[in-house]
Amino acid sequence: MLTQKLIPISYCRFSVFAVTLVAFVLFNTALLAQVTFEGTITDKKSGAALSQTRVTIFDDMLKKEIAATQTDEQGFFSISAPRAVRYALSADHATYFKRDTVLADMKATHRADLTLERKPGYVFDITMFDRAFDHNPINTLRDCKVEIYNNTTAKEELVIEKLAKSTFHFAFAEGNHYTLLVRKPGYLNRRVEVYVNVNGCILCVDGMGVNEPDVVAIMHNNNETGNFLGSLDLDSLQIGSRFALRNIYYDYDKWNIRPEAAKVLDKLAVFLKDNPGIKVELGSHTDARGKDPYNMTLSDKRAAAAVQYLVDHHGILPENITSKGYGESQLINRCDDGVACGENDHQMNRRTEIKITGMSDKDPLWEKSLKEIIEDKDLYRKIIAQQKRYYSKR
């Protein structure tokens, strides 16, 4: 027969208390073994908070990384590290000079507020709008995918999958060529190239137009640094939408592609590769001077020559782009036959337009990063081949 031994209740209570006490002591000992660093990182001159600054805790020899974090939108950081005699704290931001500081005599919490000095370069505060509307705050676009790639260093600089607001800012450092890509479902993908003291460009922005009236520039430090307030318009994706191509000129009675026209078509090729889900028509228009049949034939040859250039030089899929000559049938001003007009008015009618004639249900590039789009030179061909296989099974 088995006999159970009863344990006094008072002993059980003491055991629970002892275990709790040991756990409390161990927990507080662990806390005392940690040091918390917190503070803010700001611009040395303006005092503006610097978000996305990497804050790293090293040993006092700056060799071993102990812990790391990033500042938030208010430039604040908080980070814990094992207790030691001395530490080195490093603050690193892409467009500022890195700052290292040695810290000693640690308490449980140490405050470290640092200022960083700007590298030569320019900060852009950009607001996204729907091009179909005026630049009114109610017409701004939210939830855009925003990416910036540094072509000079071959690194991603910014990736925001879904920007909750319609504005963002980024500092472009001197000596670099950047690519900005903004995407939003229902809109054409928009690319902007930014050159900062590269290839003779002190500051060149291709695709946004820094000299337009809606961009305000504030320069500092003998123009080494500056702030730009600008807007970036996105075009809604709709069948029948038209976009004019500027500066595509031909010699009189000719349709061969001149060097300056080739540069415009080179940019069009990039646009088409950034939007492989659309089919387009390239249309050529003339002014009203000359006979109607002659103008129709000439414009048809010019449109065909432009399309052939895109196919031959950039590998644009022929099925995705067609050509059409409109002659003088679609004048955009009063300069018809028998109406006296100046050369500038006639030039408005001599234009090349892109019209969207078809589009995919989903952007074929949506899952691809800007880094992949730029670095994979064969990506367009792969995307087109994938689309062909998809539609052949439907």
User: Residue 114 corresponds to which amino acid?
Assistant: L
CATH 2.60.40.10 maps onto the chain at 36-116, 121-234
- Which of 367, 320, 364, 330 is CA-nearest to residue 350? 330
380: which 2 tokens?
């367009």
∠ CA(32), CA(38), CA(39), 5° rounding? 155
Cα–Cα distance between 353 and 287 in angstroms, integer? 14
Instruction: Examine the pLDDT at 242 and tell me if it is beyond 50.
Output: yes
Q: Which of 93-102, 238-247, 251-260, 317-326 has the highest mean pLDDT?
A: 317-326
Domain 242-392, CATH 3.30.1330.60 — does that match?
A: yes
40: which 2 tokens?
């803010």
Q: What is the pLDDT of residue 96?
A: 84
221: which 2 tokens?
């430090």
Report the pLDDT averaged over residues 245-256: 79
Q: Is the pTM of this model over 0.75?
A: no
CATH 3.30.1330.60 maps onto the chain at 242-392
Positive/negative CA dihedral, 4, 8, 14, 20: positive
Task: Please name every residue paired with 170 in a beta bridge, in sequence order, or none if there are none.
Answer: 124
3-state secondary structure of 374: helix
Cα–Cα distance between 199 and 394 in angstroms, integer? 48
**Domain at 36-116, CATH class:** mainly beta
Q: Are strands 278-285 and 204-206 parallel, antiparallel or unpaired?
A: unpaired
3-state secondary structure of 225: strand
Instruction: Examine the pLDDT at 311 and tell me if it is beyond 90.
Output: yes
3-state secondary structure of 272: helix
Q: Looking at the domain that runs over 121-234, which CATH code has it been given? A: 2.60.40.10
- Which of 237, 236, 234 is CA-nearest to residue 359? 237
